[in-house]
Amino acid sequence: MKKTVTTLADGRELIYYDRRDDVVRDAADERPLGRVATSSEVRRDALLGDSVAIASHRQDRTYHPPADACPLDPSRDGRLTEIPDSDYDVVVFENRFPSLSGSFGRCEVVCFTSDHDASFADLDEEQAALVLDVWTDRTAELAELPQVEQVFPFENRGAEIGVTLAHPHGQIYAYPFVTPRSAQMLRSAAEHRAATGRNLFEDVVARERADAERVVLETAHWIAYVPYAAHWPYEVHLHPARRTADLRGLDDGARAEFPGVYLELLRRFDRIFGPGQPPTPYISAWHQAPLRAAGREEFALHLELFTIRRTLGKLKYLAGSESGMGVFINDVPPEAAAARLREVASQ
């Protein structure tokens, strides 16, 4: 992997990641951009104890542009975009409309491919492996920023999820605090260790493997299962066989197998609702250990992949119970979801 760091016209950082070492990236950003002005702040909720990012400047972010005006395409034929070069493998750049910025963290955009009409599931294994290397590299670099407490790579796919740019891309949020879900996982892990002397994540995976009913696929280095108490209609958790705190700790075997395993899961998601149906909207989220939190060594890196589509033409909405009280009600039994995801495996 070759890494080339440059700067956009407004001062934001952009990084090219290339599979070939002989690629030269010297195109300049010729757009007449002013410096980015953000108004991000983080406020703490005194009742819940969590944090809320206030980012009013995001009201002006690019919203569903026509395909020929996508800012994530390469710059070609006189049209200038966020990526100055005419082609790329993977590109990362600072978000022009960040939810978090400056002392309040950092937000980055990750473009998985220059092909506007592709999706992650369309990538070949070599390209998917490059994206994994990029996620790992960004985790390592962002972890060095003193204001960052947690690094969260994720992808939103589909207009139903709220995606405003159709180009295949994800984001990385570098939070200046430990997120509520991770804090809860750490508390649960600490309680489990005190009660049993064992690691909670390892016990959960062992239970799913022993039960087998909710296991979607398993290889030498990865296991994917629908959790016993799944919140979402179709939800898969993907764990490396050897527990590690974050992406930096994945061993060579897990890195080699990940592209094939992950692409298979994404392709199964697109087959859940039958042939000829629209692509399945999903969120794909890497859960990594907070960088300096107590009990970090008890955490387990894993990826959570889920869709808000509960059946053909119907979405799962976070209504009164979910949004008002945080209590999820799932219409699809986890065992049925797992059976369907096994049923649509590649032949």
Give the pLDDT confidence of 80-117 residue by residue, as tens digits: 999 999 999 999 999 999 999 888 999 999 999 999 99
Per-residue pLDDT at 34 exceeds 90: no
Give yes or no: residues 145 and 32 share one domain.
yes
Mean of the pLDDT values across residues 9-18?
97
In angstroms, the CA 158 to CA 295 distance is: 35
Q: Determine the pLDDT at residue 306.
A: 98
- 169 is a catalytic site residue: yes
Give yes or no: residues 159 and 221 share one domain.
no
The mean pLDDT value of the chain amounts to 96
Provide the 10 A C-beta neighbour count for residue 57. Answer: 16
Q: Determine the pLDDT at residue 200.
A: 98
Give yes or no: residues 171 and 184 share one domain.
no
3-state secondary structure 39-89: CCEEEECCCCCCEEEECHHHHHCCCCCCHHHCCCCECECCECCCECCCCCC
Mean of the pLDDT values across residues 300-309?
98
Per-residue pLDDT at 64 exceeds 80: no
- Domain containing residue 241: CATH number: 3.30.428.10
Q: Determine the pLDDT at residue 38.
A: 79
In angstroms, the CA 264 to CA 271 distance is: 11
Give yes or no: residues 156 and 196 share one domain.
no
Would you state the structure tokens that stand for residue 309, as one six-digit string? 């589509």
Give yes or no: residues 86 and 188 share one domain.
no
In angstroms, the CA 127 to CA 263 distance is: 11
pLDDT digits (tens, 9 = 90+) for 315-330: 999 999 999 999 999 9
Per-residue pLDDT at 274 exceeds 90: yes
Higher pLDDT, 334 or 64: 334
Give yes or no: residues 114 and 244 share one domain.
no
Among residues 57, 64, 167, 169, the one annotated as catalytic is 169
Read off φ and ψ for residue 295, nearest 5 degrees: 85, 10
Mean of the pLDDT values across residues 262-273?
98
Helices vs strands, H then E, count in the chain: 6, 15
Per-residue pLDDT at 65 exceeds 90: no
Give yes or no: residues 58 and 116 share one domain.
yes
**Percent of the chain scored above 70 by pLDDT?**
99
Last residue of a domain, one of 175, 202, 228: 175
Mean of the pLDDT values across residues 18-39?
91
In angstroms, the CA 134 to CA 108 distance is: 12
Provide the 10 A C-beta neighbour count for residue 332. Answer: 17
Give yes or no: residues 130 and 55 share one domain.
yes
Higher pLDDT, 97 or 283: 283
Q: Determine the pLDDT at residue 264.
A: 98
Per-residue pLDDT at 72 exceeds 80: yes
* pLDDT band, very low/low/confident/very high, at 67 (cuts 50, 70, 90): confident
Domain that holds residue 270: 180-343
Give yes or no: residues 133 and 196 share one domain.
no
* pLDDT band, very low/low/confident/very high, at 136 (cuts 50, 70, 90): very high
Per-residue pLDDT at 61 exceeds 80: no
Give yes or no: residues 225 and 171 share one domain.
no
Q: Model-level pTM?
A: 0.96
Give yes or no: residues 170 and 217 share one domain.
no
Last residue of a domain, one of 132, 157, 175: 175
Amino acid, res. 30: E
Last residue of a domain, one of 123, 148, 175: 175
Q: What's the total number of domains in the chain?
A: 2
Residues in the chain: 347
Q: Determine the pLDDT at residue 63.
A: 65
Per-residue pLDDT at 193 exceeds 70: yes
Would you state the structure tokens that stand for residue 167, as one six-digit string? 């180009």
Give yes or no: residues 167 and 119 share one domain.
yes
Q: Scanning the structure block, which residue is given the tokens 């060095």?
A: 144
Q: Determine the pLDDT at residue 255.
A: 98
DSSP-H helix ranges across 89-247: 125-142, 180-196, 200-211
